[in-house]
Amino acid sequence: MTKRTHKIRKAVIPVAGYGTRFLPATKAQPKEMLPLIDKPVIQFIVEEMVASGIEEIVLITSQNKRAIEDHFDRSIELEDYLRRSGKKKQLKDVMRVASLAKFVYVRQPEMRGNGHALLQARDIIGDEPFAFAYGDDVYVSQTPVTRQLISTFEKHHKSVVPVFEAGDAETEIYGVVEGKPTGDNTYAVKKIMEKPGPRRTRSRLITCGRYVFTPRIFDELEKIKPGKGRELWIADAVERLIKSEGIVAQKINGLYFDCGNKLEFAKATVYHALQHPDLKSDFQAYLQEIVK
């Protein structure tokens, strides 16, 4: 990719999956709408994107995800009720959700892997770099993680992945990056291994949940063959992207919660309860009580 580049103003979030790990809770509602206290997981991700300078959110949906579209739309009847009831804070909160960004919804007609889901956004993204997030990965950080990745992209003009140091156990669960340090907590990525375990790699740099991609990712997705489950996987296209134009890994500052995992979702719920202004004191007292 040349040094000439666009401002990153679009993000893609695939939300078409079935959410089978949370059944039966996700039988009739999207997993992305499961709440961390009083805000759905997907809203945390969208707010991170907006705080990072993203103006347009492309959500790759399916027929069972109408609740997500409704959540980011106006609800005139609800707004009128809150206004008449004098519930000013709640009114402000629900009206803000609909004005966070421009939302574009694209249906993934059949479940053929996350690479196939991303390809559905090609015409909307065009020849622009863009942010990418999975719909159940929540980060908490002073500087939004996507903003950290965009800053790195603006320096290197290559696709960027976030990394953080973890222990042996995490190498069994998440992707591991092997790379050469290049300064400023960045690495030239040599390989990204899916759940290799501690014996297959010496690296303990874990990556999950976010990317900044150049538009070249679409070309690589078009070239790969179906992999596991006869589906198209972003990881296979990323492997090609490492070879064709390179990828930078940025060590990020922040907490990560895999909210597609029941234990991590429970941890995220506890964390956000302890941050919530209406709950934190009473909830902390409750936790201390049950620990006894």
Range of the domain at 135: 10-285
Query: pTM higher than 0.85, yes or no?
Result: yes
What's the total number of domains in the chain? 1
Any domain includes 1: no
In a domain, 291, yes or no: no
Secondary structure string (H, E, C) spanning the chain? CCCCCCCCCEEEEECCCCCHHHCCCCCCCCHHHCEECCEEHHHHHHHHHHHCCCCEEEEEECCCCHHHHHHCCCCHHHHHHHHHCCCHHHHHHHHHHHCCCEEEEEECCCCCCHHHHHHCCHHHHCCCCEEEECCCEEEECCCCHHHHHHHHHHHHCCEEEEEEECCCHHHHCCEEEEEEEEECCEEEEEEEEECCCCCCCCCCEEECCEEEECCHHHHHHHHCCCCHHHCCCHHHHHHHHHHHCCEEEEECCCEEEECCCHHHHHHHHHHHHHHCCCCHHHHHHHHHHHHC
Per-residue pLDDT of the chain (292 residues; tens, 9 = 90+): 444 557 899 999 999 988 899 999 999 999 999 999 999 999 999 999 999 999 999 999 998 899 999 999 999 999 999 999 999 999 999 999 999 999 999 999 888 888 999 999 999 999 999 999 999 999 999 999 999 999 999 999 999 999 998 888 888 888 899 999 998 899 999 988 888 888 888 889 998 889 999 999 999 999 988 877 788 888 889 989 999 999 999 999 889 999 999 999 999 999 999 999 999 999 999 999 998 8
In a domain, 4, yes or no: no
Domain for residue 53, yes or no?
yes
- Residue 171 is predicted with a pLDDT of 87
CATH, residue 27? 3.90.550.10
How does 239-272 read in b/e, with b if 16+ C-beta sit within 10 Å?
bbbbebebbbbbbbeeebbbbbeeebbeebbebb
Q: How far apart are CA 105 and CA 161, in angstroms?
A: 25
